[in-house]
C-alpha cells in the first residue's frame, strides 16, 4: 500500500461521473466495452509508433489484451500492452476531460434531462468503471517514464504514486476494478465471455480471457493421469497481432489397455481467445471471396442459410462509415407480425466496437428483412455537444442505407434466377414499400413484378407492361382476384384479351391497397377492369347503340327486378363470349376487395 500524491478531479469529471453512475445503472455492462476499446486504442498508438521506432515494442513485444479475475478479492483486471501513460498523461487523461463543449453538454443534460440511454449507447469512456467498481487502480508504464499507480474511489479525487515494485508491466496499462458487492456477476467467466463477444468480437487485437472450462476425460481405474495445465504467461505468446487460435493442450492422453474406461469431468483453466472473427467489412472488397462473405454472414446473422446477395461499401461525405448489407436467403419467421420490437437487424459499430442493435425501425418496416453492419469511424461518440445531435447523424446514415438497399435489389433484378427467388421471399415487402415509402415509390415500383395475360410471361414489370401498351391505350389494365387461375377466366379479362390488350393480374391481397396508394406509374394510370365505365378506342358506337335500343325492354325489366341489388344495368361492348358480368362502380369495392374485407372481419 503506497500513499500517493492527491489530485482533485476536474469539476466536469465529477459531474460527469455522478451523471453516469446515477443514470446508466441498467446498462452498466458497457464499462467493459469502454475499457477494451481504450486498450485497443492504446495498442494502436504503440503500433503506430513502432512503424518509425523499431525499439518501441521491445519492452513488451506481444500486442494483446488480457482479462482475468481474482474471485477471492473480487477484482476484475483488464490489461493491455499498449502505449501506457506517463505521469503527466495519467493526470490529464484520467483526471480531466479534454473534449470541448463538455460543460455545455453537462448543463444541457442536467437541466433538460436529455435521454441518458442514448449516451450509454454511444460511449462514455473511462469513468464508466465506477458503474461497477467502488475502487479502481490503474497501473501503467509508458516507454518514456517510470511505472505509476493511479487510484480512486470516484467522485472527488484520486492519488498517483510511483510504483514501488518498479517496472513489472514492461509496457502498457492494467486496470483493476474492485467490484461493488452488487456487481459480482462480472467475476463470472460466462458473463465476461458473453460481454466480450457482444461488444468486442471484432477488435483488431487478440483478447484473451482466463477461464476455467470443464472437460470430460477418460480415466483408467488403476492410474489416474495427472492433468497438469500451466497458466500460460502472456509473454509466452509469440505472435504480435495475430488472431490464431491458441494451442489446445491435449489432456486426454488415453491409456492403451482394454480395461473398461471411466470418464471424469475435470476443470481446465487457461487463456481463451475471445475474438476469432475478423471484421471483414474493414477489408478491401477486392480481396474478399464470396465464400468469406457468406461465412461471415452466417456467423454474424446467426442464420444457417446462405445470403442471397450483399453489398459492401464505404460511405463518404456528410457521414463516413463502412457497411455490408445482406439480403438473407430466406424471409425470417413472422416478418410482418412484429410490432414495436427492436428488430436487431442493423448492428452499429464505431471503430469495430459494437455500439447497439437496439433500433426501432432503423430501416423502414418493408426493409426489415435486411441484415447490415455499419461501422462509423467518427460518430460523435463521446459526451459532448454533438451527442445531442446524434439523431440527425443517424438519420443521415439511415438515408444512405435505404438507398443502398434499393440499389442492391435493383442490381439483383438483373439476375433473373436470383430475383425470382428474392421476389418469392420478399416480394410482398416491396409492395409494402411502394405503399409506405412516398419518397422511394418510383424506384420501388420499377422493381415490382406481376403476372399478366401477356403470353409467355408470368412476371412482368410495370415498365415492360407500358412498353407493350397498344396505341391509344390510355390506362394500365389490371384485375384483382385470389389467384391467376381465377382472374384468367374472368369475363372482363376475356373481352380485353380478345381485343389484344394486356391485363395485369393482381392476385395478392396487398395489391388492392397498392393501387390505392400508387394510382399510376410512368405517366400512366392503373385501371381496374372490373370497375366502372369502359371505353375502347375505335369502339363501334353505332353497333352498341343498335343493341341498346334492341334490348331496352329487357334491361328495364331487369332493372326493376334487381332494384335493391344493382345500381344500373347496361349493354356494353367489353365482353366477347360471356353474356354478362357484374361490375363495381369506380368508387365501390370489387368482389375481390369485398372478400378481403370480409376475411379481415371488418
Ligand atoms: P476516450 O477513449 O474517448 O479518449 P476515455 O475516457 O475512454 O476517453 O479515456 C480517456 C483517455 O485516457 C484516453 O484518451 C487515453 O488517452 C487514456 N487512456 C484510457 N485508457 C487507456 C489505456 N488502457 N492505455 C493508455 N491510455 C489510456
Ligand atoms: Mg475511450
Mean pLDDT, range 243-257, rounded to an integer: 48
pLDDT digits (tens, 9 = 90+) for 303-321: 889 999 999 999 998 889 9
Residue 187 CA to residue 71 CA, distance in Å, equals 6
Residue 38 Cα to ligand 1 midpoint, Å, equals 5
Residue 445 CA to residue 449 CA, distance in Å, equals 9
Mean pLDDT computed over every residue of the chain: 85
Nearest CA-CA partner of 342 in 326, 356, 322, 359? 359
pLDDT at 89 over 60: yes
Q: What is the model's pLDDT at position 347?
A: 92
pLDDT digits (tens, 9 = 90+) for 490-503: 888 888 888 889 99
Ligand 1 pocket: which of 9, 32, 38 to mutate (most atoms within 8 A of CB): 38
Question: Where would I find the beta strands (DSSP E) of 442-599?
Answer: 449-450, 460-461, 475-480, 504-506, 520-521, 524-528
pLDDT at 238 over 70: no
CA-based max dimension of the chain: 117
Least confident span in 358-372, 381-395, 479-493, 529-543:
381-395
Specify the higher pLDDT residue, 41 or 589. Answer: 41
Task: Name the residue with the closest Cα to ligand 1, atom 12.
Answer: 93
Phi, psi of 265 (to 5 degrees): -95, 125
Q: What is the model's pLDDT at position 24?
A: 80
pLDDT at 239 over 50: no
Q: How confident is the model at residue 590 (pLDDT cuts 50, 70, 90)?
A: confident
Residue 355 CA to residue 20 CA, distance in Å, equals 17
pLDDT at 231 over 80: no
Q: How confident is the model at residue 235 (pLDDT cuts 50, 70, 90)?
A: very low
pLDDT digits (tens, 9 = 90+) for 110-128: 766 555 556 666 667 899 9
Highest mean pLDDT among 28-37, 63-72, 264-273, 565-574: 63-72
What's 42's DSSP letter?
H
Percentage of residues in the chain having pLDDT higher than 90: 51
The ligand 1 atom nearest the CA atom of 34:
7
Q: What is the CA radius of gyration of the chain?
A: 34
Give every CB contact of residue 49 below 8 A, 6+ residues apart in sequence: 56, 83
Q: Under the phi-then-psi rule, with left for phi > 0, alpha for psi from -120 to 50, and beta for the rest, what region is 170?
A: left
Q: What is the model's pLDDT at position 468?
A: 94
- Work out whether the CA dihedral 539, 545, 551, 555 comes out positive or negative: positive
Percentage of residues in the chain having pLDDT higher than 70: 84
pLDDT at 512 over 70: yes
pLDDT digits (tens, 9 = 90+) for 522-566: 999 999 988 877 766 666 678 888 888 999 999 999 989 988 888
Q: What is the model's pLDDT at position 249?
A: 45
Sole residue written with cell 468469406? 292
pLDDT digits (tens, 9 = 90+) for 417-464: 999 999 999 999 999 999 999 999 999 999 999 999 997 666 899 999
Residue 38 assigned ligand-binding role: yes
Nearest-5° angle of CA 249, CA 252, CA 254? 140
Q: What is the model's pLDDT at position 380?
A: 59
Q: What is the model's pLDDT at position 3?
A: 81
Q: How confident is the model at residue 248 (pLDDT cuts 50, 70, 90)?
A: very low
Q: How confident is the model at residue 570 (pLDDT cuts 50, 70, 90)?
A: confident
Residue 80 assigned ligand-binding role: yes
Highest mean pLDDT among 24-28, 242-246, 328-332, 573-577: 328-332
Q: What is the model's pLDDT at position 233?
A: 45
User: Concatenated DSSP letters for 54-76?
Assistant: TTTTTTS----EEEEEETTTTEE
Nearest CA-CA partner of 583 in 594, 563, 568, 564? 568
Pocket of ligand 1 (CB under 6 A): 34, 38-39, 41-42, 80, 82-85, 93-94, 125-126, 173, 382
The ligand that comes nearest to the alpha carbon of residue 381 is: 1
Q: How confident is the model at residue 232 (pLDDT cuts 50, 70, 90)?
A: very low
Kindly list the protein residues that place their beta carbon closer than 5 angstroms to ligand 2, a single-atom ion: 38, 125
pLDDT at 246 over 60: no
Residue 386 CA to residue 393 CA, distance in Å, equals 9
Find the helix or strand (DSSP H, E) in which 174 lies.
strand 172-179
Q: What is the model's pLDDT at position 247?
A: 46
pLDDT at 291 over 60: yes
pLDDT at 167 over 90: yes
Residue 31 assigned ligand-binding role: no
Ligand 1 pocket: which of 78, 93, 128 to mutate (most atoms within 8 A of CB): 93
Helix axes 416-436, 390-412, angle to 10 degrees: 140
Residue 100 assigned ligand-binding role: yes
Residue 39 Cα to ligand 1 midpoint, Å, equals 8
C-alpha to C-alpha distances, 592 to 300, 436, 462, 533, nearest whole angstrom: 43, 22, 21, 18
Q: How confident is the model at residue 357 (pLDDT cuts 50, 70, 90)?
A: confident
Q: What is the model's pLDDT at position 206?
A: 96
Task: Name the residue with the closest Cα to ligand 1, atom 8.
Answer: 125
Residue 85 assigned ligand-binding role: yes
> How many Cβ atoms sit within 10 Å of the Cβ of residue 529?
25
Task: Name the residue with the closest Cα to ligand 1, atom 11.
Answer: 93
Specify the higher pLDDT residue, 69 or 98. Answer: 69
Residue 101 assigned ligand-binding role: yes
Q: What is the model's pLDDT at position 101?
A: 66
Amino acid at each position: 500500500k503506497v500513499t500517493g500524491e492527491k489530485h482533485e478531479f476536474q469539476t466536469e469529471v465529477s459531474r460527469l461521473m455522478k451523471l453516469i453512475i446515477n443514470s446508466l445503472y441498467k446498462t452498466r455492462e458497457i464499462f467493459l466495452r469502454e475499457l477494451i476499446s481504450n486498450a485497443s486504442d492504446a495498442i494502436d498508438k504503440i503500433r503506430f509508433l513502432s512503424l518509425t521506432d523499431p525499439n518501441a515494442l521491445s519492452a513488451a513485444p506481444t500486442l494483446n489484451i488480457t482479462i482475468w479475475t481474482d474471485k477471492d478479492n473480487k477484482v476484475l483486471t483488464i490489461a493491455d500492452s499498449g502505449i501506457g501513460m506517463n505521469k503527466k498523461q495519467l493526470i490529464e487523461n484520467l483526471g480531466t476531460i479534454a473534449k470541448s463543449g463538455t460543460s455545455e453538454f453537462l448543463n444541457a443534460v442536467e437541466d433538460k434531462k436529455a435521454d441518458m440511454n442514448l449516451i450509454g449507447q454511444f460511449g462514455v469512456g473511462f469513468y464508466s468503471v465506477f458503474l461497477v467498481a467502488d475502487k479502481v487502480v490503474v497501473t501503467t508504464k509508458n516507454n518514456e517514464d517510470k511505472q505509476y499507480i493511479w487510484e480512486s474511489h470516484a467522485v472527488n479525487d484520486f492519488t498517483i504514486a510511483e510504483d514501488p515494485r518498479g517496472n513489472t508491466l514492461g509496457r502498457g496499462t492494467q486496470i483493476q476494478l474492485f467490484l461493488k458487492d452488487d456487481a459480482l456477476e462480472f467475476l463470472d467467466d460466462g458473463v465476461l465471455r458473453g460481454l466480450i463477444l457482444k461488444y468486442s468480437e471484432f477488435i483488431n487485437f487478440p483478447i484473451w480471457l482466463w477461464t476455467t472450462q470443464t472437460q470430460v476425460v477418460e480415466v483408467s481405474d488403476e492410474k489416474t493421469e495427472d492433468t497438469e495445465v500451466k497458466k500460460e504467461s502472456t509473454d509466452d505468446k509469440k505472435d504480435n497481432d495475430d488472431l490464431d487460435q491458441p494451442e489446445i493442450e491435449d489432456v486426454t492422453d488415453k491409456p492403451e489397455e482394454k480395461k473398461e474406461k471411466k470418464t471424469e469431468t475435470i476443470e481446465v483453466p487457461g487463456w481463451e481467445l475471445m475474438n476469432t472473427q475478423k471484421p471483414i467489412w474493414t477489408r478491401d472488397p477486392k480481396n474478399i471471396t464470396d465464400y468469406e462473405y457468406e461465412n461471415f454472414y452466417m456467423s454474424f446473422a446467426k442464420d444457417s442459410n446462405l445470403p442471397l446477395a450483399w453489398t459492401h461499401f464505404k460511405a463518404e461525405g456528410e457521414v463516413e462509415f463502412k457497411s455490408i448489407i445482406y439480403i438473407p436467403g430466406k424471409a425470417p419467421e413472422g416478418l410482418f407480425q412484429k410490432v414495436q420490437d427492436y428488430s436487431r437487424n442493423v448492428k452499429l459499430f464505431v471503430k469495430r466496437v459494437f455500439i447497439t442493435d437496439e433500433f426501432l425501425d432503423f430501416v423502414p418496416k418493408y426493409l426489415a428483412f435486411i441484415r447490415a453492419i455499419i461501422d462509423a469511424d467518427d460518430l460523435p461518440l463521446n459526451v459532448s455537444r454533438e451527442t445531442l445531435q446524434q439523431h440527425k447523424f443517424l438519420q443521415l446514415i439511415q438515408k444512405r442505407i435505404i438507398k443502398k438497399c434499393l440499389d442492391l435489389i435493383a442490381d439483383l433484378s438483373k439476375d433473373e434466377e436470383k430475383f425470382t427467388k428474392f421476389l418469392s421471399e420478399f416480394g410482398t415487402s416491396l409492395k409494402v414499400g411502394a405503399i409506405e415509402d412516398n419518397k422511394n415509390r418510383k424506384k420501388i415500383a420499377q422493381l415490382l413484378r406481376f403476372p399478366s395475360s401477356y403470353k409467355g410471361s408470368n412476371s412482368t414489370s410495370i415498365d415492360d407492361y407500358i412498353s407493350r401498351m397498344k396505341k391509344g391505350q390510355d390506362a394500365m389494365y389490371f384485375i384483382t382476384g385470389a389467384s391467376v387461375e381465377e382472374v384468367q377466366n374472368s369475363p372482363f379479362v376475356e373481352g380485353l384479351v380478345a381485343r389484344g390488350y394486356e391485363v395485369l393480374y393482381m392476385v395478392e391481397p396487398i395489391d388492392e391497397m397498392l393501387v390505392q396508394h400508387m394510382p399510376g406509374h410512368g405517366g400512366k394510370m392503373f385501371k381496374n377492369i372490373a370497375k366502372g365505365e369502359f371505353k375502347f378506342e375505335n369502339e363501334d358506337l353505332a353497333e352498341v347503340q343498335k343493341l341498346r335500343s334492341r334490348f331496352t325492354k329487357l334491361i328495364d325489366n331487369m332493372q326493376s327486378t334487381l332494384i335493391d341489388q344493382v345500381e344500373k344495368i347496361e349493354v356494353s361492348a367489353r365482353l366477347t363470349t360471356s353474356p354478362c358480368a357484374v361490375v363495381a362502380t369506380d368508387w365501390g369495392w370489387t368482389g375481390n376487395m369485398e372478400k378481403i374485407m370480409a376475411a379481415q372481419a371488418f
